[in-house]
Amino acid sequence: MISSPERYISNFHTAGANLLVVHVEATIHLQRVVSEIHRLGMKAGVALNPSTSLSVLEYILDDIDLVLLMSVNPGFGGQHFLSSTYEKIYNLRRMIDEREKTILIQVDGGVTLSNTKALLDAGTDVFVCGSSFFVGESYSEKRYQFESVANSLTI
């Protein structure tokens, strides 16, 4: 998370980014930031810290492509998943579906093989797997394990 993300949008665009996610807590002009991201041809996402209510999305949800729900407090890796995130995912999925939008839900923090299925069932589309992916078995083995969980679901 960076403060005043509006100062860096053009830098990320120049570097080749096609999606930029900003924390709602990091700017006082979220709509302006999202508009600038889109103006430069990138997709826009917003991130919410665990204690931030979904109500902050009310006036921005129709203008974004992704919502990143932090399931740990930002700062360092290896934290345990906050179980209150499941309800937040479910409620966000319902908000998106009611608007008939195609907005991805991404979850970051404490994502492990043991909670991946429950996260998918709650409505998660994209996972950020940090410590659970890079600790232990080889990367290819971890990738296989995560893909096996995802592929085992009936859609």
153 pLDDT more than 70: no
Please choose, from the candidates 16, 18, 21, 22, the residue with its C-alpha nearest in 3D space to the C-alpha of residue 3: 22
Domain ranges of the chain: 5-151
- The model's pTM: 0.88
Q: Would you say 72 and 80 are in contact if contact means Cβ atoms under 8 Å apart?
A: yes
Each residue of 122-141: pLDDT tens digit? 999 998 877 777 777 778 88
For the domain bounded by 5-151, which CATH number is listed? 3.20.20.70
